[in-house]
Amino acid sequence: MHAPDSSFNDLDDGIDFSDVQQIKRGLIASMVRVVGFDPDSAGPHDWFLALASLLRGHLSEQGMHTSRSQYGKDVKRVYYLSMEFLTGRRLMKHLLDLGIEPQVRAALTALGQNLDVVAEQESDAALGNGGLGRLAACFLDSMATHAYPGYGYGIRYEFGMFSQTIENGQQVEHPESWLQNGSPWEIVRHNLNYTVRFGGRIVCFRDEQGHESCRWVDTDDVIAEAYDLKETGFGGSIAVNLRLWSARSTQDFDLRYFNEGNYIEAVKEKTVSETLSKVLYPMDTTLMGQELRLKQEYFFVSASLQDILARFLKVHKNPRLFPEKTAIQLNDTHPALAVPELMRLLMDHCGLNWEDAWDITRNSFAYTNHTLLPEALETWPLDLMETLLPRHMEIIYRINHYFLQDVRRTYPGDGDKVRRMSIIDDATRRVRMAHLAVVGSARVNGVAALHTHLLRERVFPDFDRMYEGKFVNVTNGITQRRWLLQSNPPLAALVSEAVGPQWIRDLDRLRDLEALADDTAFQDRFLAIKRQAKVRAAALIEERCGLCVAPETLFDIQIKRIHEYKRQLLNILQVIARYNRLRSANAPDLLPRTVIFGGKAAPGYFMAKKIIRLINDVAEIINHDPLVRGRLRVVFVPNYNVSTAEILIPACDLSEQISTAGTEASGTGNMKFALNGALTIGTLDGANIEIREEVGGDNIFIFGQTAEEVAHTKANGYNPWDWVNADEELRRVIDMIRDGFFNMEQPDRYHPLINAVLNQGDPFLVMADFRSYVEAQAAVDALYLDQRTWARKAILNVARMGKFSSDRAIHTYARDIWGVGSMVADA
């Protein structure tokens, strides 16, 4: 389908990136022609822009080769729809993928620049809150590396995740304007856009044959404009496209106002519609039902589906082939409106009848659930939906009507079941987005074995019984390319030397490290690398917090979103207990520790913000107490993001994964730490369970109640005071917080926190798990004394992380859910 003269295999100004001289010339040309600066006076940021622009051209070329080959083979494609993509910085990733880091480094050196300094100029693309967004980024990397015909769709938020500072111990939020200096990676496609409609009304009519068709009229329209980012895979020959939509007003000026001479009113409409892609909602697992959020969801879903369908119809005339050529993955319920949107497009635009449209739709989608917390299951008010999306509401009612007919047929006379399963909650007059996603998808997956089990037993038991085989598990994974190769080059080099470089594409190869776990020379090198990473992390802490921490101490790290279920509170209680022990008598068994926290709280989340403040208040007292100097330090590292994680994770000895059992769907931080040779202290929750299975119970510190025990404890009338009163050490810790020991200037500061936990039932069982946590921490101290044994266990952790590669997850999705093949396997 391409004319022979459209070949671009040897573009004559293409650069051979294996040649330092050519890169240097290319950089100078890019500086002059694209950045527009004199190379003699350019600074590191200008050189970053020049380098990124140079690479963007190369990546675009790669992307075109990939795309041509996919069209040529007419492969089945997979589309990953996600409100969030937490990709972090891109420069070093691209250089490693393309295998040209040494050459680019040399070229920059010849220009008087240092690659590391240049790379630091890039701001994090923080288009996500936490785990869910980072998972999407790891998945794109795995799809590109293993040549799956994947494609990502999301929103180009002008302001990503807020940046965080700590002032007087409290979180302060600042806008994160990652686009302030422009993003040199984007390929802007002003001409590739779609109209997205809101509001209006429906008019239906019948033609002569009696076919009813409906039109959606008098709508308020917004334009979705495409911005593309190329995601490279390792080896660099394949690029997956990430298409992010930006909102643009349909008219720059509303002529009605303009003609009346009201210039300001005339541009107001433009500002309103363009707010759609302004901000990422900084909410993680707790949702608030705001109209703008619903509009964002529909905005990116509609643009993406119009684009997907247009791409399909370019090659295929028959829409019935759609599910054979397309798989669409919904990352949580945020894009669940894709179900009625595809129905609408197939019926109202392609002229299909309901039955055919429904057949296509339910065979095209799959849905990933990410949470068991009831407050995180999305629902939207019927009134709002009817006003904003009247056509979709009609379609949802009809989907529900046929679905409930099925339920009644399967379970005659069970009215309760019908009410429970309905997509519409009649009592609250809301649409249950998770039910819509389950009914409209061929497969639904949880993200860890326990999570999927609980999903089937507790959240969707009726659906699970009715649709046999619909619910499956795909345990999350992380890409070893970013979380070891890129973030920990010394350990990556040691591993490659020991077992060969194949682990970069096949993490199971790490298994060969087991044979070296007892090798003292290998242990020494492993420990030296850990120590080097701790020195780097200490420098970051010094720079961000002005605190000196000693790399000889045990680095105990909990970095993740601040949330009650993740239990940073449990951690700080244990720190206070340790402090008391250190102050009281001689405590020879307690080893010197540096306890490091990091993470953002949703700006409206009162309890999470209190917890941040408590950590900082406790740190202030402990770090200034001469009695514990050199034995305990507490640090809160501000503005946790991907780049911070890349420095802290390699430096970790002890990884804190202490959520209440049954609340963390999977966790992925836990995997990153273990891959970098940290030992985990954790509960039997999420993927921790599978991590224990892989590394062995002797190589992980497990404590606390199991999910079943938690349910049992709660069912038997849990009273946290009983646990506090029965435990003198815990009692003392609580008294200190209540009496203002850490905040003399305002002693009642934590009364609301204590009250909320102790007098309102302690829903996350902090008090019930305290004692067993303290005991597990004592076991950590004892083991760390014996550095050889510690190193042996840490090495075994690395060796046994194969399962937790996102490559394994993507292979599973491809085989069991999408039915797509790798382009390399096809070739």
* Residue 584, token pair as written in the block: 């009281």
The contacts of residue 305 (CB under 8 Å, 6+ apart) are 338, 341, 342, 345
* Residue 173, token pair as written in the block: 């939020």
Looking at beta carbons only, is 680 or 822 nearer to ligand PLP?
680
* CB-count burial class (<10 Å; 0-12, 13-18, 19+) for 591: middle
Looking at beta carbons only, is 667 or 720 nearer to ligand PLP?
667
Looking at beta carbons only, is 127 or 338 nearer to ligand PLP?
127
Residue 560 annotated in active site: yes
Looking at beta carbons only, is 371 or 641 nearer to ligand PLP?
641
d(CA 553, CA 236): 40
Nearest approach in angstroms of CB 163 to ligand PLP is 13
Q: Which of residues 432-491 bind ligand PLP (CB under 6 A)?
A: none
CB 565 within 8 A of CB 660: yes
Identity at 462, one-letter amino acid code: D
Stretch that binds ligand PLP, among 178-186, 380-388, 530-538, 665-673 (CB under 6 A): 665-673
What residue ranges in 382-528 does DSSP mark as E strands? Answer: 424-425, 430-432, 443-446, 471-473
Nearest approach in angstroms of CB 667 to ligand PLP is 4
Nearest approach in angstroms of CB 642 to ligand PLP is 5
Give the 3-state DSSP-derived string for 177-216, with helices as H, strands as E and coil as C. CCCCCCCCCCEEEEEEEEEEEECCEEEEEECCCCCEEEEE
Q: What is the per-residue binding string for ligand PLP in 806-825, x denoting contact by CB under 6 A?
A: --------------------
667, 677, 682, 802: which one contacts ligand PLP (CB under 6 A)?
667
Nearest approach in angstroms of CB 405 to ligand PLP is 41
CB neighbourhood size of 526 (10 A): 25
Stretch that binds ligand PLP, among 31-39, 128-136, 141-149, 740-748 (CB under 6 A): 128-136
* Residue 370, token pair as written in the block: 């990410």
Stretch that binds ligand PLP, among 354-362, 414-422, 459-467, 664-672 (CB under 6 A): 664-672
CB 148 within 8 A of CB 74: no
CB 436 within 8 A of CB 460: no
Looking at beta carbons only, is 230 or 561 nearer to ligand PLP?
561
Looking at beta carbons only, is 107 or 678 nearer to ligand PLP?
678
Q: Tell me the residue length of the chain.
A: 827
Interface with ligand PLP: number of residues (CB under 6 A)? 12
Q: Which of 156, 451, 456, 560 is catalytic?
A: 560
Indicate the helix (H) or strand (E) that contains 682: strand 679-682
Q: What is the per-residue binding string for ligand PLP in 600-639, x denoting contact by CB under 6 A?
A: ----------------------------------------
Looking at beta carbons only, is 134 or 451 nearer to ligand PLP?
134
184, 200, 669, 682: which one contacts ligand PLP (CB under 6 A)?
669
Stretch that binds ligand PLP, among 19-27, 524-532, 667-675, 707-715 (CB under 6 A): 667-675
Q: Which of residues 634-663 bind ligand PLP (CB under 6 A)?
A: 641-642, 645
Looking at beta carbons only, is 228 or 564 nearer to ligand PLP?
564
What does DSSP say about strands 379-381 and 430-432: parallel, antiparallel, or unpaired? antiparallel
For the chain, helix, strand, coil in percent to 5 are: 55, 15, 30
CB 416 within 8 A of CB 408: no
Nearest approach in angstroms of CB 586 to ligand PLP is 36
The contacts of residue 427 (CB under 8 Å, 6+ apart) are none
130 touching ligand PLP, by CB under 6 A: yes
Q: Which of 470, 561, 567, 581 is catalytic?
A: 561
Nearest approach in angstroms of CB 131 to ligand PLP is 4
Q: For 539, phi and psi rounded to 5 degrees?
A: -65, -40
Q: Which of residues 200-259 bind ligand PLP (CB under 6 A)?
A: none
Residue 683 annotated in active site: no
What does DSSP say about strands 365-368 and 326-331: parallel, antiparallel, or unpaired? parallel
475, 616, 668, 777: which one contacts ligand PLP (CB under 6 A)?
668
Paired with 431 in beta bridges are 380, 424
The Cα-based distances of 564 to 152, 164, 551, 571, 604 in angstroms read 31, 19, 30, 11, 14
Indicate the helix (H) or strand (E) that contains 565: none
Looking at beta carbons only, is 333 or 644 nearer to ligand PLP?
644
26, 63, 131, 598: which one contacts ligand PLP (CB under 6 A)?
131
Nearest approach in angstroms of CB 132 to ligand PLP is 8
Q: Which of residues 541-560 bind ligand PLP (CB under 6 A)?
A: 560
Q: Which of 663, 668, 680, 683 is catalytic?
A: 668
Residue 370 annotated in active site: yes
Looking at beta carbons only, is 63 or 130 nearer to ligand PLP?
130
d(CA 128, CA 142): 19
Looking at beta carbons only, is 123 or 249 nearer to ligand PLP?
123
Q: Residue 256: CA atoms inside 13 Å, Cβ hemisphere, count? A: 3
Looking at beta carbons only, is 134 or 509 nearer to ligand PLP?
134
676 touching ligand PLP, by CB under 6 A: no
Q: Which of 94, 156, 197, 370 is catalytic?
A: 370
CA-based max dimension of the chain: 94
Residue 566 annotated in active site: yes
* Residue 56, token pair as written in the block: 């963007």
Q: Which of residues 773-792 bind ligand PLP (CB under 6 A)?
A: none
Nearest approach in angstroms of CB 508 to ligand PLP is 21
| Crossing angle for the helix pair 390-410 and 354-362, to the nearest 10 degrees | 80
Identity at 292, one-letter amino acid code: L
Q: Which of residues 502-531 bind ligand PLP (CB under 6 A)?
A: none
Q: Output the DSSP codes for 158-170.
A: SB-SPEEEEETTE
CB 288 within 8 A of CB 296: no
* CB-count burial class (<10 Å; 0-12, 13-18, 19+) for 259: exposed
Q: For 557, phi and psi rounded to 5 degrees?
A: -125, 130
Matching residue, tokens 């959020």: 293
Residue 211 annotated in active site: no
Nearest approach in angstroms of CB 162 to ligand PLP is 13
Q: Which of residues 39-98 bind ligand PLP (CB under 6 A)?
A: none
| Residue 114 DSSP code | -
The residue whose Cβ lies closest to ligand PLP is 669
598 touching ligand PLP, by CB under 6 A: no
CB 323 within 8 A of CB 363: yes
Q: Which of 566, 567, 581, 600 is catalytic?
A: 566
d(CA 129, CA 681): 24
CB 53 within 8 A of CB 189: no
Nearest approach in angstroms of CB 754 to ligand PLP is 25
Q: Which of residues 133-152 bind ligand PLP (CB under 6 A)?
A: 134
Stretch that binds ligand PLP, among 53-61, 245-253, 666-674, 716-724 (CB under 6 A): 666-674
| Crossing angle for the helix pair 766-785 and 751-758, to the nearest 10 degrees | 100
Nearest approach in angstroms of CB 597 to ligand PLP is 12
Looking at beta carbons only, is 569 or 823 nearer to ligand PLP?
569
Nearest approach in angstroms of CB 686 to ligand PLP is 8
d(CA 97, CA 231): 10
Q: Which residues are catalytic?
A: 370, 560-561, 566, 668, 672
Binding residues for ligand PLP, per CB under 6 A?
Answer: 130-131, 134, 560-561, 641-642, 645, 667-669, 672
